[in-house]
Structure 1
């Protein structure tokens, strides 16, 4: 089974989020992946999983689940509860393995929506 691997990128010098289409058409993706020091980009990988609104989860997304904000921090499976030092469930990977992601809602990302983190102490 294969899937297309997609990324987005935060360009810190301009404060813009670059889509996958921009990365593969306007920029040389090989340079970005293999010579990242030449760019002011933070690459984030998409998962193939979707939230309750059919939006695809991506690294550094902020997800609202059961009244709390969580941040997707490692590719597909690791979430961090913002402002708390407890896991989402018994194991942080349960969010995906138990299907809870179907009830989550992407509300932003840590680069463009920092106001969603106000009052939360990041780990």
Structure 2
């Protein structure tokens, strides 16, 4: 059974809150005691239950880098939840066909996320 964890991105404060608890009515609990603004738009990122090749946890919205071509995919890709599973966001037809190969079958490394580092995906069509 995988561990359920969340991070919350606050675009107004430009801050990522880590290890956040979310109760059944949508209140956020920061274990470090920092106040979290509970108005929209907050973006919830869920832990995939997977780790990269260096043991770093992979969250939805992370940008992963492939060291070499794996299944025809290389470069930087965004991790997303689609069709009941986590995988990489397609950037071209090759990615679309291989989406189900997913990050757990590949040698990848988390290099950032789309919220704090959107530039990581700019111009990456490889």
TM-score (norm 2): 0.70
Choose between structure 1 and 2: higher helix proportion.
1
Quote the Cα distance in structure 2 between the aligned partners of 1:54 and 1:89.
Answer: 27
1:112 alignment partner in structure 2:
116
The reply to whether residue 11 of structure 1 matches residue 10 of structure 2 is: yes
The reply to whether residue 95 of structure 1 matches residue 97 of structure 2 is: no
SS in structure 2 opposite 1:4?
Answer: coil
- Cα deviation for residue 111 of structure 1 reads 0.3
2:32 alignment partner in structure 1:
none
Runs of 4+ in 1 over 4 A off after TM superposition: none
Quote the Cα distance in structure 1 between the aligned partners of 2:4 and 2:101.
Answer: 23
From the superposition, tell whether residues 120 and 32 of structure 1 become closer, same or farther in structure 2 (CA, over 3 Å). farther
- Cα deviation for residue 90 of structure 1 reads 4.3
2:26 alignment partner in structure 1:
32
Counterpart pick for 1:79 among 88, 93, 109: 88
TM-score (norm 1): 0.72
Quote the Cα distance in structure 2 between the aligned partners of 1:89 and 1:115.
Answer: 22
1:58 alignment partner in structure 2:
59
SS in structure 1 opposite 2:9?
Answer: strand
Quote the Cα distance in structure 2 between the aligned partners of 1:17 and 1:49.
Answer: 19
Quote the Cα distance in structure 2 between the aligned partners of 1:31 and 1:15.
Answer: 24
Choose between structure 1 and 2: higher strand proportion.
2
- Cα deviation for residue 85 of structure 1 reads 1.3
- Cα deviation for residue 96 of structure 1 reads 4.0
